[in-house]
Structures are given as structure tokens and as C-alpha cells.
Chain A
Amino acid sequence: MSEKRPAREVVHRDYNQHPPAFAPGYKTSVLRSPRNALISLQSSLSEITGPVFGEQDLGPLDNDLIMNYAKEGLPIGERIIVHGYVRDGFGRPMKNTLVEVWQANAGGRYRHKKDQYLAPIDPNFGGCGRVLTDENGYYFFRTIKPGPYPWRNQASDWRPSHIHFSLSGDAFAQRLITQMYFEGDPLIRQCPIVRTINNDDAVRTLIAELDTHAAVPLDCLAYRFDLVLRGSRATLFENRTQGAAR
């Protein structure tokens, strides 16, 4: 007889840590946000499981954005390492989590057929990478620090320098996309996308700190960026009598 209940549950999401769906300062959210309240579920197998990834899914240069699209030379810009730990809400390491990143080049231009910004493409920079966290939840990649860029929200809005992050977690309910910002960037406090989050402590979870200890002398600087996914815990009690017919 197999277990008929989930062995684990995902801890509920604290929406005070997140932006609301409807955030009119970020104009695109106006027509793309549900008007109805979300319907809350208790965890079933559908929520506590999720895709499992392995090294066979990745290539050897996937976490090196300086080299993974270099054609005839190195990309132009500030060479940096970004590294940190992915943990769950209980502080436990999130092992084997797929971390995917994408970003603009040093001038704020994306390699995307829809990006028409006049700053040029860098022929040696692609702008995406991915890596699996190790046994300790640790990840690292190497890249060029992205430049800020203008966007059509209010006509004078500029995004702060940022790197987009996507994390798979261990359960589909932990799936998260976010953006990493750089310590000290004055554009952070003006940005309508950052300001969709109504909680200064939550905004601070998105700002990477300069980390000179991890820098490579005469080669590249480093930034430290830790991430936290929702915790999952054992189901402590259940209401079904053992062995009883359903």
C-alpha cells in the first residue's frame, strides 16, 4: 500500500514579500493582471514535485557568459563574477536547482530581435547562461556587468543595471523569476519595476553586494547574490485513520 498523501507540503507564500499583480506605475501590468483573487490550494503531489535537471542538460561553457558567445575576441565591458547560495526558507541548501540568467550587454542592448535600442550589439556577447547549484546550494557564473537602458513606460524611465534570474527549485510551487540589481546603483530607487514591491526589506533581497574577496586580482570583480526559495516541510499530522477505507 503506497502513501496516499503528500509526504511534504510547501510553506505558504508570503505575498508581502512580492509585488502585487496590479501595479499601475508599471504600465504593462494594468491589462495583464487578474482582477479575481487567487484561489489558495493545499499542497498535493502536483505542487510538491517538479522537474529534475542534471549536468547532462548543460554544456561546459554555459555558466561563462564572457566566453560562451565569444567569436573573434572577448566581449567589451566590466568583467565580473556573480556567485552565491540558494537556500529555502528554513536556511537549507537548495541542491541541484537550475539557475538560468539573461541580461543586456555593457551598453544596455539585448541580443533579441525585438530590442531596437540604438546602443550597439556586442558581436562577442550573447547574454545568457545557466548553472546547477551544488550540494551546498552554491552557484557561480562569470559575465560582463550589464548597462542600464531606457524603456517605454514613462518616456524618461531607465532600468537600473540588472541580471534576470530564473530558479527551478525542487517543487513546481517554488518556481521563481526575479532580477538582481547592483549595490549603489542610484537608478534602483527610481525604477517603476523595482517599486512594484511595496516593502524595502524585500527590495534589498534583490541587491547584490560587491564582494572583493571573491574577485580575481587583475582580472575581474565579484558580486555576491544569495537567493531564498519557499521552504517545504514534512506533513506533521494527517486526519485519515491508518488503513481505513476511503
Chain B
Amino acid sequence: MKDYLPETASQTAGPYVHIGLAPHAAGFHIFEKNFSHVLTNSHTEGERIVIEGRVIDGSGTPVRDVLLEIWQANAAGRYNHPADLQQEKALDPDFRGWGRTCSDFDSGVWRFETIKPGPVTGRDGRMMAPHVNLWIVARGINIGLNTRMYFADEQAANEKDPVLNLIEWEVRRNTLIATREQRGDEVVYRFDIYLQGEKETVFFDV
């Protein structure tokens, strides 16, 4: 073990995480270019969707100072990263696949504007259902929480998904499935994340 360097210890992002990672939300303008909750531009391929939700604490109260990031494949099911060797699927130069958002300080609602990802090949060639990887930090969270969001209208794929099937408590699998609704001309997937308690979301050690 002595040959390995230990990972730097995690610490909470604290209540003022916005200063560093989303200064506009903290209330000031400093960088010319800011990272955003919008993952698409006008050339991005795929079905436009909105992902919206709240993060809820153990008392049922929305967490109003949370910061979330998502990481996802493009519409063809390929990640924009050199380690993704799925050559038969095209890369989309107009899709990085990553975004960052903060909850509203009053309502606790957060939002991403993205595209619906295609299915990605998992371990041993088993297909994974379309999903979005999420990472959640806030005051009171000592180490970032990882989870996945799946889509309610992909029931057949979800039933075969190797990660959902790892969750031996079938009732808990539902905590990872976002519901689809049409709101005006937007397709919205609603995904509330429960940190603790009866409806607690499944979190992963990735």
C-alpha cells in the first residue's frame, strides 16, 4: 500500500460555493466566460429536454444552497472524452456533455437545459439504459454525492439496466427515475433528490 499516494481528503463546499463555481449566483460579475446549466447550442444533435428538481433534506425542506453538476453522453450514446472508445457512435462537436447549476435561493429549484442521452455500453458489453450522472455538493455535505437519473419513458431499457439491477431493494430503484411532462413547448423531466429519510435517493460509491 505504501507505494500509493492517499487521495486528498474531501471537505464540504460550504454555503458560499457559488463564489468560486458560479459567481453570478453569488451576486457579482468577474469572469468573461462562465460555466452554465445550458449544455446545448443551436447545432447540438438530439431531443431538447429540461431537467428540473429540488434537493430535499431530512426534514423535508428544500436545500437552497446546493450546487449540482451533470455528466452525460450525447444523443448517440457517446461521451465526449478520449477514453470513450465506442467508435461506431459519432461524437457531437457541439456537445461537451457537462453542465453546472445552482438551486434558486428562495425556491430551491434547479434546472438544466440539455438533450436526452443515448444508451451507453456498460461493462462486459451490457447496454446501460439512457442516464445522466449527477454530482451534488452543498453546506453540510462532507463529500460530494453521486447518483444517476434515468428516464420514466425508457421502461424496457431501465428493466435491463445493469446498475439499476444492482439495487437489491426494488422500491429504491424508483428514486432514480425522473418523470416526463410537457410544459408549453418544453419537455421537462422532474427529478427531486431526497438526501435522507423515507424517500431517500440512492447514492453511489463510484
Contact = CB atoms under 8 A, between A and B. Distances in A.
Contact of B125 (A4, A47, A111): A4
B20 interface: yes
A15 B16 CA distance: 25
Nearest to B145: A34
B121 A32 contact: no
Given A6-B83, A34-B203, A45 B10 contact: no
A231 interface: yes
Interface stretch (B45-53, B127-135, B177-185): B127-135
A51 B5 CA distance: 24
A38 B204 contact: yes
A114 B65 contact: yes
Contact of A89 (B6, B172, B196, B202): B6
Q: Is the interface of B mostly helix, strand, loop or mixed?
A: loop
A173 interface: yes
A contacts with B: majority SS: loop
Contacts, number: 288
Contact of B83 (A49, A178, A193, A239): A49
Given A32-B140, A90-B4, A114-B105, A127 B19 contact: yes
A5 B85 CA distance: 9
Contacts of B69: 175
B170 interface: no
B140 to A, nearest CB: 3
B33 to A, nearest CB: 6
Contact of B32 (A36, A39, A59, A176): A59
B16 A49 contact: no
A187 interface: no
A58 B33 CA distance: 7
Interface in A75-100: 87-91, 100
Contacts of A23: 142
A244 to B, nearest CB: 9
Contact of B8 (A26, A115, A126, A227): A227
Given A13-B7, A178-B8, A49 B163 contact: no
B30 A128 contact: yes
8 contacts: A5-B125, A39-B204, A49-B79, A126-B19, A176-B8, A178-B9, A202-B6, A246-B126
